C-alpha cells in the first residue's frame, strides 16, 4: 500500500499543502483570467489610442480638403472673371491700328528712340478654339524701347502672344539705332464653320 507522504502526517503539513494548493489555484486563476483581462484592457487602450490618432488625422484631412475646395472655388471665380472674349478676324484692321498707336506712344515716351516702320498681318490659321493671325512688327529702336513695347502689348492685348523677337545693330554704327522685329500671334475668335 502506498503511504501518505510524511508532510501529511501532521496538521501543519496538511495546512501547508492546503495553502500551497490554494496559491497554485490562485496563480492559475490569475494567469488564466485576470492576466488575460489585463492584456485585453491594454490592447483596448492601444486600439483606442490608434482610433483617436486616426480620427485626428481624418479631421486634419477634412480641414485640408475644405481649404483646398475653398481655394479651388476662389480660383474658379478668378478664372470666370478673367474669361477672355476673342474678337473676330473682321476686326483685324482695328487691331493693326491699335498696335500702331501703341508703338507710336512708346516711341514718344522713349523720346523718338523707337519707330515702327512696318506692320504686316499674315494669313489667318483657323483652329477649333481660335483663329491664329500672325502679325509682324518691324521698326527702328534700341532694346529698352522694344522691351517696353513688348510689355505694353502683353498688358493691353492679352489675346496676343509673342512668337518671335529679334534685335540687331550694325557693328559699323555703334552709336546708332538698331532694328527690331517682333512676330506676334493674335488669337481671334474662331471663324464660322471652323473644324
Q: What is the pLDDT of residues 127-136, one digit of tens each?
A: 888 899 999 9
Residues 146 and 175 in one domain: yes
pLDDT digits (tens, 9 = 90+) for 51-84: 999 999 999 999 999 999 999 888 888 777 767 7
pLDDT of the residue at 134: 96
| DSSP state letter for 8 | G
Q: Model pTM?
A: 0.56
Residues 97 and 46 in one domain: no
Instruction: Report which secondary-structure segment, H or E, holds 131.
Output: strand 131-140
pLDDT of 194 > 80? The answer is no
Mean per-residue pLDDT for 26-47? Answer: 80
* 119 strand-pairing partners: 137
Structural domain boundaries enclosing 19: 6-81
Last residue of a domain, one of 63, 81, 99: 81
Closest Cα partner for 158 from 90, 77, 95, 74?
95
Residues 106 and 57 in one domain: no
Amino acid at each position: 500500500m502506498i503511504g501518505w507522504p510524511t508532510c501529511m502526517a501532521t496538521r501543519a503539513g496538511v495546512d501547508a499543502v492546503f495553502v500551497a494548493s490554494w496559491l497554485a489555484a490562485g496563480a492559475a486563476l490569475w494567469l488564466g483570467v485576470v492576466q488575460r483581462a489585463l492584456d485585453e484592457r491594454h490592447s483596448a487602450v492601444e486600439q483606442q489610442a490608434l482610433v483617436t490618432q486616426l480620427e485626428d488625422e481624418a479631421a486634419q484631412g477634412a480641414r485640408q480638403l475644405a481649404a483646398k475646395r475653398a481655394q479651388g472655388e476662389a480660383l474658379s471665380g478668378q478664372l470666370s472673371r478673367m474669361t477672355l472674349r476673342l474678337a473676330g478676324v473682321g476686326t483685324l484692321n482695328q487691331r493693326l491700328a491699335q498696335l500702331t498707336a501703341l508703338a507710336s506712344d512708346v516711341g514718344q515716351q522713349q523720346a523718338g528712340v523707337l519707330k515702327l516702320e512696318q506692320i504686316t498681318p499674315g494669313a489667318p490659321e483657323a483652329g477649333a478654339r481660335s483663329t491664329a493671325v500672325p502679325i509682324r512688327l518691324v521698326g527702328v529702336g534700341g532694346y529698352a524701347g522694344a522691351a517696353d513695347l513688348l510689355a505694353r502689348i502683353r498688358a493691353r492685348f492679352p489675346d496676343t502672344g509673342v512668337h518671335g523677337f529679334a534685335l540687331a545693330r550694325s557693328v559699323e554704327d555703334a552709336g546708332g539705332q538698331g532694328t527690331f522685329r517682333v512676330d506676334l500671334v493674335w488669337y481671334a475668335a474662331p471663324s464660322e464653320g471652323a473644324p
